[in-house]
Amino acid sequence: METGKKKIAWARQYMPVLASIRGEFQQNKPLKGIRIGMALHVEAKTACLVETLAAGGADVHITGCNPLSTQDDVARALDEVPGVHCYARRGVTAGEYYAAIDRVLDSHPQVVIDDGMDLIHRLHTVRRDLLPRVVGGCEETTTGVHRLRAMAREGKLAFPVIAVNDTPMKRHFDNVHGTGESAIAGIMLTTNMLVAGKVVVVAGYGFCGRGLARKLHGLGARVIVTEVDPRRALEAYMDGFSVMPMEEAAGAGEIFITATGNTSVIAEPHFARMKSGVVLANAGHFNVEIDIGWLEKNATAVTRRDGIDTYTVDGKDIHVLAEGRLVNLAVPKGMGHPIEVMDLSFSLQALCALHIARQGRTMNPGVHEVPPEIDETVAERKLASLGLSIDKLTELQKSYLSGWESGT
């Protein structure tokens, strides 16, 4: 527990925006009487968000959103924070994972904060009796937002959820810089391999994929991008990367990183083309992007070491990191996104949770964007913490931008 407290203290000192919100929450108690249920990666930066919500008067119940991402010492330290109840544990079975989510839901939360939508899915399937109590929620990641939008299209989402993932202050920093740096760090720390000179295949060129590609290029890798969207493929090409289908890239790559949020991105046809000794890693939320099931079934031998499973298939060794789960968090030395990045994302979460608590009953069920004023507030506070100032529009400029009569 003491090591967990030290990790939280280390993170706290580099999260000035969240600290400013925590100070306001501590003084005003805007969440007093609100029960918040959470399923997030339980590590030090998440703990700072939980502390902030509790400081605002909330009764917080939290568990993990991935069986391998919880840091047990942080979870124990969180359980000592007044107003916080933590049920997360690392290395749980699927049954234990959902039992912990049920413990969160047993608190009858009014506001939910999710990462991947497993908690919200549970509410809409097994625990539907609790739905009338829920005012609304927030979703942290791309995969979760995709699932929520699918529910909303079918008219099955019973309450409003703010897509924190989709706002500029999340996408341009957490997804690009956070995933870009932390996934590569997880691979390097786990394998002790050099990136410079390697052919690295990045599957997907969304915000996470482009962050990965750019950071890898900066480290000297030769980057290949695979895509299914012609616009993103063209963007990757114009950014200077090679673009080709996965079947072609499979024979060229030495390291593969998936960041698509989709299933079976690397599967049987690709394994057959790969060189012996390739490293496969996933930066998406769920462990479905690499077909681990096929490898488990067809490998003639499997060697397991810390964070690396080696599958021998047709005489070739294929190394899979973190069981195909999030490589930045699920490897033994995974620390997740950099602290400064999560300062922004979790500041958004704190303010969006407050918005839902206050306004949720007036919002229609469905997926909602982060209110622009919240996004701008977080950006302004971050600039202030860096000692930076920017220009402001003059009255003349405001008039020009809002008018239509001025022309050539």
Does 299 share its domain with 347? Answer: no
- Confidence band of 231 (pLDDT split at 50, 70, 90): very high
Mean pLDDT of 99-108: 98
pLDDT value, residue 330: 85
pLDDT value, residue 302: 98
Does 324 share its domain with 182? Answer: yes
Instruction: Tell me the C-alpha distance between 309 and 327, whole Å.
Output: 13
**pLDDT greater than 80 at residue 234:** yes
**Residue 179 has which token pair?**
């995933």
Domain-embedded: residue 96: yes
47 and 8 Cβ atoms separated by less than 8 Å: yes
Domain-embedded: residue 164: yes
pLDDT value, residue 274: 98
- CATH value at residue 229: 3.40.50.720
Does 348 share its domain with 282? Answer: no
Amino acid sitting at position 201: V
Does 134 share its domain with 201? Answer: no
- Confidence band of 408 (pLDDT split at 50, 70, 90): confident
**Per-residue pLDDT tens for 141-161?**
989 999 999 999 999 999 999
Residue-range definition of the domain harbouring residue 144:
2-170+338-385
Does 181 share its domain with 291? Answer: yes
Does 278 share its domain with 343? Answer: no
Going by C-alpha positions, the residue among 136, 163, 42, 91 that lies closest to residue 325 is 91
Domain-embedded: residue 404: no
Instruction: Tell me the C-alpha distance between 404 and 400, whole Å.
Output: 8
Instruction: Tell me the C-alpha distance between 96 and 168, whole Å.
Output: 35
Handedness of CA 142, 143, 148, 153 (dihedral sign): positive
User: For 212-217, which contacts have Cβ atoms below 8 Å and span 24 or more sequence positions?
Assistant: 212/179, 212/180, 212/183, 212/184, 212/257, 212/259, 212/283, 213/239, 213/241, 214/176, 214/180, 214/239, 215/180, 215/181, 215/184, 216/184, 217/241
Q: Which residue has better confidence, 264 or 333?
A: 264
Domain-embedded: residue 293: yes
**pLDDT greater than 80 at residue 1:** no
Domain-embedded: residue 81: yes
- CATH value at residue 99: 3.40.50.1480
pLDDT value, residue 386: 97
Bridge partners of residue 281, in order along the sequence: 257
**Per-residue pLDDT tens for 177-220?**
999 999 999 999 999 999 999 999 999 999 999 999 999 999 99
Does 267 share its domain with 294? Answer: yes
Number of compact structural domains in the chain: 2
Does 347 share its domain with 228? Answer: no
pLDDT value, residue 259: 97
pTM of the model: 0.92
284 and 260 Cβ atoms separated by less than 8 Å: yes
Does 23 share its domain with 156? Answer: yes
Amino acid sitting at position 292: I
Domain-embedded: residue 35: yes
Does 138 share its domain with 285? Answer: no
**Per-residue pLDDT tens for 315-368?**
999 999 999 999 998 888 888 999 999 999 999 999 999 999 999 999 999 999
Domain-embedded: residue 393: no
* Residue whose token pair is 């096929």: 294
pLDDT value, residue 407: 82
pLDDT value, residue 136: 98
Instruction: Tell me the C-alpha distance between 356 and 349, whole Å.
Output: 10
pLDDT value, residue 397: 95
| Mean pLDDT, rounded, of the chain | 96
